[in-house]
Amino acid sequence: MASGPRTLYDKIFDDHVVKADNGTYVLYIDRHLVHEVTSPQAFEGLTNAGRKVRRVDCTLATVDHNIPTTSRKTYKNLSTFIDQDDSRLQCTTLEENVKKFGLRFFGLDDARQGIVHVIGPEQGFTLPGTTIVCGDSHTSTHGAFGALAFGIGTSEVEHVLATQTIIQNKSKNMRIYVSGKLRPGITSKDLILHIIGQIGTAGGTGCVIEFAGEAIEELSMDARMSMCNMSIEGGARAGMIAPDATTFAYLKGRPLAPKGELWNQAVKYWKTLKSDDGAKFDIDITIKGEDVVPTVTWGTSPQDALPVTSKVPDPADYAHDQDKQAAITRSLDYMGLKANMAIQDIVIDKVFVGSCTNARIEDLRAAANVVKGKRIAGNVKRAMIVPGSGLVKLQAEHEGLDKVFIDAGFEWREAGCSMCLGMNPDILSPQERCASTSNRNFEGRQGAGGRTHLMSPAMAAAAAITGHITDIREYYKDENKDPATAAIEISVPSSASASEVAESEYDESEADEDDTPVPAAEPAAGSGESSGSSNAPAASSVSTGIPKFTVLTGIAAPLERSNVDTDAIIPKQFLKTIKRTGLSAGLFYAERFDPVTGKEKPGFVLNQGVYRQARIMVVSGPNFGCGSSREHAPWALADFGIKCVIAPSFGDIFFTNSFKNGMLPLVIAQETIISKILPVAQAGKPLTVDLVSQQVRDAETDAVLATFTVDEFRRHCLINGLDEIGLTLQSEAAIQKYEHYRRTTLPWLEGGSTLVRPIIQGKIPGVPHAVEW
C-alpha cells in the first residue's frame, strides 16, 4: 500500500487489494465488460475446468466488433443477420455462453447494444472508484469516471470470470497536467492527439496516466472519455480523471447508478477520489492548453500527429536518427504521401465518424453542425456515421441529426465498431484514404492497404464537405460560425438527455416481473455470504497448467523495428476464431504474404532460410506488441514456434498475455540487444535463453551475452507451468473477506437495488427490442 500522500491511482488500487505478496497483488474487479472477440476461448477454458462465473451481477456482455451496421429493420436473430461465417460463429458463441453462464447481454435486438465502451458508461455500469476490465485495450475509456480501467487478454478474461480478481503489479504514476484553457473549437481529440504526438506511443509504458488541470476539468464526460480512450495509444496501462460535479451529474439517474441513500453515500466516497496534495508522480508533464491546435495524423502510428497547418515530414531531415528516418520513409510509402506536402492538401476518399473514441452524442452533434445544409464533396465516395450505441442513435434521431446527415449525403448506420477495425463488412479498399474519428491508424487497420488519418468529429465532417483535410477554424470562419459554440449549435431537446433516454429503456420493476430464469438469489448486502451467483457448474480450483518455460535454445529471428503493434503481428481477419490454435498462418500476415497472390514475400525474415525454424525473436527497437489487447498475437507467435521475444520494451497487455501462455517476453537494454544479441540472430546462429539462471547465451560458444531479471511470481509460474486461475482460487478465503469488506464499505457496488439481476437478450418487458428497426 502506498504511504503518505497518495495519487488517485494509488487510492483505487489500495482499495481493491485482496492479497499482496512481494509486489504481486491480487486485485478485486468491480466491473467486467465482455465482447465476442476476446471471450470464446475464456468461456471454453471455464467450461473445460468446470468453473462458474463468480460475479454474474458484475458482468455485462454485448456484441460489437463483428456485427454489420446495416439496418436491423428485418432483424430476426444473429444467425440469419450475419453473413460472414466466422463473424457469425463468434457472435452466436457469445450468445450461447451468456445463456449458459446466466450473464447480462445486450444483443442486436436490444436498443442498449453498442460498442462495449459506450454502453458501460451509458448504463451507469461504469462508476467512479471502481476497477473495470474488458478483453479490449480501450477499456481505458472508463477512466474518465475516475475508475481504474484497463484492457486485458483472453486468459485474464477467464481469470476474472472465474475469480473476479486479477493479478497485477503496481504501475508507475504519471500525470499529464493541461494548464489553462483550450482555444475555441479545439476538442479533447485534438488534445489527446497532441499529447501522443509529444510523448510518443511508448511514452506512457508501465504507467497509469492521470489527466488533470483546468482544461481537463472543463471537459464534458463525452470529451473526457475520448481522452482516456486514447491513453492506450500513448502506451499507458490506463488513463484517469478525478471524478467531480460533471461526473456525478452525468451518472445521476443512469439505470445502474446507485439510487437514494446509496447515491449519497457513493458521492461522499467519490469526492475523496483525487490525488492528495504532495502526492508523488514518477513522471509529471505539463501541456499548455492554449498551444493545442486542430491535430491530425499523417502516418501509420498515432504518434504521427501534427497540427493541421503543418507539412508532411521529410525523411531527409532525420539523417541524424536512422530509425526515425526509416519509419518515416516506410509510412510515407504506405500512406502514398509526398514529403513536405501541406497536410491540408491531402485529398480523401472516405469519411468515418464512429468508434469508441468519438461516437457519442456530442461527437455526432459536432459533426452534424459542420455538415448541416451542405453536401459531401464529389470526390468523397462514402461517408458514414456510426453511432456508438443504439441509445446514442435514438437520441440523435430524437434531435433530428440523422436527417441532417442523410441530407448531406452521409450513411446513417446502426451501432457497432464498424470501420474502426474492419472485422465486419465496413472496410476500406486498398489505397483508399479515410478521414476517421477512430483511434488507430496502423497499416491495414481499416482494411488491407487502407490509409487512415485520425482527427476529431468536426474535422472529419469538414473533410467530408471539402473533400480534403481541412482546418476546422478556417472552415468555421468561412461559415461565419463561432467555433466556441459551433459544436453545440444544434439544439438539444431538454426533455431527452442521453441519460433520460437510457433510463427510459430500462425499468427495473418491469424486469423484476420478467420470467428470465434467475440463477440464484442475491444475498442482502452485508450478509457475509458471497453474493456472486451463476447457474453454471460449481467452481473448481483444479490447476489446468500452462506450458513450462525453463531453458530455450533455438534460432533467433532478427526484427529491426520499433513500435510493432499487435495489428501487425496478427491482423483483424485472424481474430475471428473461437480457438487459440492454428494462428501461425496469420502471423505478420501483411508482411509475410502478398495480398493478391497469397505468396510469401521473400524479404520478410520469417520467410528466409533458417529463420523459418525460429524459436526466438530479437527486436531492436522498443514497444513491441503495442496497441490492441488481442491475445491472438502471442498465440500466433507460439503457433509458429516462437516462445521468446527479446526487445527493449513491450506493450503492457502483450507482455502479460505472453506469460499467460508459457512464453517469455524478455526486456533487455537496447544497447545490449544491438551490440551483443542481434549480431548472433543476424548470423542465423542459435541463442539460449535460460530463465533458471536468468541469462541469454550464445548457444554455440556458451558465452553470456546478457543477464536479466524477471518478476519473481511470473518466473515461478513459467518455470513450474502453473495456471494462475488455480492459484488464485486457492485464495478463496481472502476473496470472500474482500467481498465482505466491499458489501459493507462500498455497498453501492453490490447487487440488490443498484445492480440488476442477470438478464438474457429479448426477455425484458418494456425494453423496445424492436424499436423502429
Residues that bind ligand SF4 (CB under 6 A): 64-65, 115, 136, 138, 355-356, 417, 420-421, 438-439
577 binds, among ligand IPM, ligand SF4, none (CB under 5 to 8 A by kind): none
| Residue among 116, 351, 328, 120 nearest 221 (CA) | 120
d(C-alpha 695, C-alpha 700), whole Å: 14
37 binds, among ligand SF4, ligand IPM, none (CB under 5 to 8 A by kind): ligand IPM
Instruction: Supply the minimum distance, in Å, between the C-beta of residue 747 and ligand IPM.
Output: 32
DSSP state of 682: H
Instruction: Give helix 361-371 / helix 457-466 axis angle, nearest 10°.
Output: 30
Q: 78 or 273, CB closer to ligand IPM?
A: 78
Q: 138 or 189, CB closer to ligand SF4?
A: 138
724 binds, among ligand IPM, ligand SF4, none (CB under 5 to 8 A by kind): none
Instruction: Supply the minimum distance, in Å, between the C-beta of residue 496 and ligand IPM.
Output: 30
The grid coordinates of residue 50 equal 468446470
d(C-alpha 441, C-alpha 453), whole Å: 7
- Does position 652 interact with ligand IPM (CB under 6 A)? The reply is no
Instruction: Supply the minimum distance, in Å, between the C-beta of residue 136 and ligand IPM.
Output: 4
Q: 65 or 451, CB closer to ligand SF4?
A: 65
Answer yes or no: are the C-beta atoms of 62 and 116 closer than 8 Å.
yes
* Burial group, residue 768, by CB count within 10 angstroms (0-12, 13-18, 19+): middle
Instruction: Supply the minimum distance, in Å, between the C-beta of residue 55 and ligand IPM.
Output: 22
Q: 151 or 243, CB closer to ligand IPM?
A: 151
Answer yes or no: are the C-beta atoms of 563 and 544 closer than 8 Å.
no
What's the half-sphere exposure (Cβ side, CA atoms, 13 Å) at 380? 27
| Residue among 759, 212, 204, 296 nearest 519 (CA) | 759
| Residue among 315, 569, 260 nearest 442 (CA) | 569
Q: What share of the chain is helix, strand, coil (3-state, %, to 5)?
A: 40, 15, 45
Q: 417 or 696, CB closer to ligand SF4?
A: 417
Instruction: Supply the minimum distance, in Å, between the C-beta of residue 490 and ligand IPM.
Output: 29
Instruction: Supply the minimum distance, in Å, between the C-beta of residue 643 and ligand IPM.
Output: 22
d(C-alpha 229, C-alpha 193), whole Å: 11
For ligand IPM, the binding residues in 562-621 under the rule CB under 6 A are 575
Instruction: Supply the minimum distance, in Å, between the C-beta of residue 632 and ligand IPM.
Output: 8
115 binds, among ligand SF4, ligand IPM, none (CB under 5 to 8 A by kind): ligand SF4
Answer yes or no: are the C-beta atoms of 120 and 138 closer than 8 Å.
no
Amino acid identity for residue 247 in this structure:
T
In DSSP terms, 551 is beta-bridged to: 690
Answer yes or no: are the C-beta atoms of 566 and 232 closer than 8 Å.
no
189 binds, among ligand SF4, ligand IPM, none (CB under 5 to 8 A by kind): none
| Residue among 424, 683, 462 nearest 572 (CA) | 424
Site track for ligand IPM across 63-82, x = CB under 6 A: --x-----------------
| Beta strand segments in 465-548, E | none
d(C-alpha 402, C-alpha 383), whole Å: 13
Instruction: Supply the minimum distance, in Å, between the C-beta of residue 136 and ligand SF4.
Output: 5
* Burial group, residue 190, by CB count within 10 angstroms (0-12, 13-18, 19+): buried
The radius of gyration of the chain from alpha carbons, rounded to an integer in Å, stands at 25
- Does position 236 interact with ligand IPM (CB under 6 A)? The reply is no
- Does position 38 interact with ligand IPM (CB under 6 A)? The reply is yes
What residues contact 68, with CB distance under 8 A and at least 6 apart? 81, 82, 83, 414, 416, 424, 425, 426
CA quadruple 485, 491, 493, 499: dihedral sign: negative
Q: 46 or 356, CB closer to ligand SF4?
A: 356
Q: 116 or 511, CB closer to ligand IPM?
A: 116
Q: 11 or 440, CB closer to ligand SF4?
A: 440
355 binds, among ligand SF4, ligand IPM, none (CB under 5 to 8 A by kind): ligand SF4
630 binds, among ligand IPM, ligand SF4, none (CB under 5 to 8 A by kind): ligand IPM
Q: 421 or 696, CB closer to ligand IPM?
A: 421
Q: 562 or 629, CB closer to ligand IPM?
A: 629
Neighbours of 323 (CB within 10 A): 15
Name the maximum alpha-carbon separation found in the chain: 77
What residues contact 479, with CB distance under 8 A and at least 6 apart? none
Instruction: Supply the minimum distance, in Å, between the C-beta of residue 617 and ligand IPM.
Output: 21
Answer yes or no: are the C-beta atoms of 626 and 566 closer than 8 Å.
yes
Instruction: Supply the minimum distance, in Å, between the C-beta of residue 654 and ligand IPM.
Output: 10
Q: 562 or 566, CB closer to ligand IPM?
A: 566
Instruction: Supply the minimum distance, in Å, between the C-beta of residue 438 and ligand IPM.
Output: 8
* Burial group, residue 85, by CB count within 10 angstroms (0-12, 13-18, 19+): exposed
Answer yes or no: are the C-beta atoms of 237 and 150 closer than 8 Å.
yes
What residues contact 87, with CB distance under 8 A and at least 6 apart? 66, 67, 423, 424, 576
151 binds, among ligand IPM, ligand SF4, none (CB under 5 to 8 A by kind): ligand IPM
Answer yes or no: are the C-beta atoms of 208 and 232 closer than 8 Å.
no
Neighbours of 646 (CB within 10 A): 28
Q: 356 or 502, CB closer to ligand SF4?
A: 356
Q: 36 or 304, CB closer to ligand SF4?
A: 36
Q: 630 or 643, CB closer to ligand SF4?
A: 630
Q: 359 or 462, CB closer to ligand SF4?
A: 359
Chosen residue from 191, 292, 386, 421 binding ligand IPM by CB under 6 A: 421
The grid coordinates of residue 582 equal 492454428
629 binds, among ligand SF4, ligand IPM, none (CB under 5 to 8 A by kind): ligand IPM
Chosen residue from 18, 26, 29, 37 binding ligand IPM by CB under 6 A: 37
| Beta strand segments in 258-302, E | 283-288, 295-297
In DSSP terms, 296 is beta-bridged to: 306
Instruction: Supply the minimum distance, in Å, between the C-beta of residue 416 and ligand IPM.
Output: 11
Instruction: Supply the minimum distance, in Å, between the C-beta of residue 33 and ligand SF4.
Output: 10
Instruction: Supply the minimum distance, in Å, between the C-beta of residue 362 and ligand IPM.
Output: 21
Neighbours of 286 (CB within 10 A): 11
38 binds, among ligand SF4, ligand IPM, none (CB under 5 to 8 A by kind): ligand IPM
Instruction: Supply the minimum distance, in Å, between the C-beta of residue 628 and ligand IPM.
Output: 3
139 binds, among ligand SF4, ligand IPM, none (CB under 5 to 8 A by kind): none
Q: 40 or 151, CB closer to ligand IPM?
A: 151
Name the one residue in this structure whose C-alpha cell is 480523471.
Answer: 241
What's the half-sphere exposure (Cβ side, CA atoms, 13 Å) at 610? 16
For ligand IPM, the binding residues in 124-153 under the rule CB under 6 A are 136-138, 151
For ligand IPM, the binding residues in 620-649 under the rule CB under 6 A are 628-630
Instruction: Supply the minimum distance, in Å, between the C-beta of residue 423 and ligand SF4.
Output: 7
Binding site residues, ligand IPM, CB under 6 A = 37-38, 65, 136-138, 151, 421, 575, 628-630
